[in-house]
């Protein structure tokens, strides 16, 4: 296992499988009357968030606490300019806090990688700009594996703002390494040029591919990362790429419907769709805690069989 979790691009398939297997063991703990285990007693986990987060930050916090680590939350006001000096300050702060692991989210791609070169603690990327969100990718894959048995050979359709989505990128790296067939669909202006090189199929007509997909993963439109005019209007977006009641009818009865949250309800996905019986959106959130427990545990040097002791 590597020292840091910077992205699924860097992670070998066998390490991904190890995290997923360990997350299964972690999920078993959820059924116990007392969820807490002493595994990370004495370890310090620092949550360092430069961008807003609800699910990721709280689930890392819960994951750390259930493993008995000391969890420190630092929320930093977002700054539009990343200066070398501010990152050095940050590095000094986390060193001084004696952090064993740092969970970092930052609006600029590559910041976790820089931090990993500067501090002794293990670095976990909780989302860097438009680059990667590896624990989201892993929890999505975990959720698919739990429902469909395996990822290899499954057809996963990712819909929406691929260009600005770190969730899309982590899913693409992870899913293709594990043998899934990944298709992407969205406004042509929001599909990065040359994406096919990552081994995915770009499809134009959503309605034609929806009946083929085993999994439909819907992305949030990242309005905060868009300059202007990436698509005509929100209403037009919904008409062409929104998962509406009508589109639900096109999906396979046994397909999974996913969304990383937070959702723009009524834009990329309707509320009705989020409540459909094929929706596993709530489960994704629960699985996020199990996957993050597994990551904290493994990066602290643990082996799987020790976990429940
Ligand atoms: N929560 C995810 C992220 O931080 C997805 C999103 O915000 O759209 O990337």
Q: Tens digits of per-residue pLDDT, 42-75? A: 999 999 998 889 899 999 999 999 999 999 998 7
Give percent above pLDDT 90 in the chain: 82
Residue 7: pLDDT band with limits 50, 70, 90 = very high
Q: What are phi and psi of 248, to 5 degrees?
A: -55, -35
| Exposure string for 246-278, b = 16+ CB within 10 A, e = fewer | ebbebbeeebbbbbbbebbeebbbbeebbebeb
Q: How many CB atoms lie within 10 A of CB 302?
A: 17
CA distance 170 to 156: 13
With a 6 Å cutoff on the Cβ, whether 105 touches ligand 1 is no
With a 6 Å cutoff on the Cβ, whether 133 touches ligand 1 is yes
With a 6 Å cutoff on the Cβ, whether 169 touches ligand 1 is no
With a 6 Å cutoff on the Cβ, whether 127 touches ligand 1 is yes
pTM of the shown model = 0.94
Mutate to test the pocket of ligand 1, among 57, 186, 220 (most ligand atoms within 8 A of CB): 220
Q: What beta strand segments (E) does 141-194 contain? A: 155-159, 181-185
Closest ligand 1 atom, residue 105 Cα? 4
Q: Tens digits of per-residue pLDDT, 147-177? A: 999 999 999 999 999 999 999 999 999 999 9
Q: What is the DSSP letter of 284?
A: H
Q: How far apart are the first and last CA of the chain?
A: 21
Mutate to test the pocket of ligand 1, among 78, 106, 166, 218 (most ligand atoms within 8 A of CB): 166
CA distance 238 to 233: 9
Give percent above pLDDT 70 in the chain: 94
CA distance 31 to 43: 24
Compute, in angstroms, the gap from residue 262 CA to the centroid of ligand 1: 7
């Amino acid at each position: 296992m590597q020292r840091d979790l910077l992205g699924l691009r860097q992670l070998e398939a066998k390490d991904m499988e190890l995290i997923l297997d360990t997350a299964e063991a972690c999920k078993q703990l959820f059924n116990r009357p007392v969820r807490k285990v002493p595994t990370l007693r004495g370890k310090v986990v620092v949550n360092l968030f430069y961008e807003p987060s609800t699910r990721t930050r709280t689930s890392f916090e819960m994951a750390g606490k259930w493993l008995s680590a000391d969890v420190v939350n630092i929320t930093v006001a977002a700054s539009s300019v990343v200066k070398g000096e501010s990152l050095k300050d940050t590095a000094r702060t986390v060193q001084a806090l004696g952090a064993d692991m740092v969970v970092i989210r930052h609006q600029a791609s590559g910041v976790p990688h820089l931090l990993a070169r500067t501090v002794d603690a293990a670095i976990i990327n909780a989302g860097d700009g438009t680059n990667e969100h590896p624990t989201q990718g892993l929890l999505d894959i975990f959720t698919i594996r739990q429902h469909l048995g395996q990822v290899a050979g499954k057809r996963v359709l990712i819909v929406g703002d691929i260009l600005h989505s770190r969730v899309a990128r982590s899913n693409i790296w992870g899913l293709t390494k594990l043998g899934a067939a990944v298709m992407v669909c969205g406004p042509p202006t929001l599909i990065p040029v040359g994406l096919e090189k990552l081994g995915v199929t770009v499809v134009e007509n959503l309605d034609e591919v929806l009946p083929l997909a085993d999994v439909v993963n819907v992305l949030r439109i990242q309005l905060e990362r868009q300059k202007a005019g990436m698509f005509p209007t929100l209403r037009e977006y919904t008409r062409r790429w929104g998962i509406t009641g009508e589109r639900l009818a096109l999906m396979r009865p046994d397909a999974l419907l996913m969304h990383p949250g937070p959702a723009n309800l009524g834009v990329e996905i309707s509320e009705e769709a989020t409540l459909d019986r094929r929706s596993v959106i709530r489960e994704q959130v629960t699985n996020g805690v199990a996957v993050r427990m597994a990551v904290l545990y493994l990066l602290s040097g643990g082996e799987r069989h020790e976990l429940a002791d």
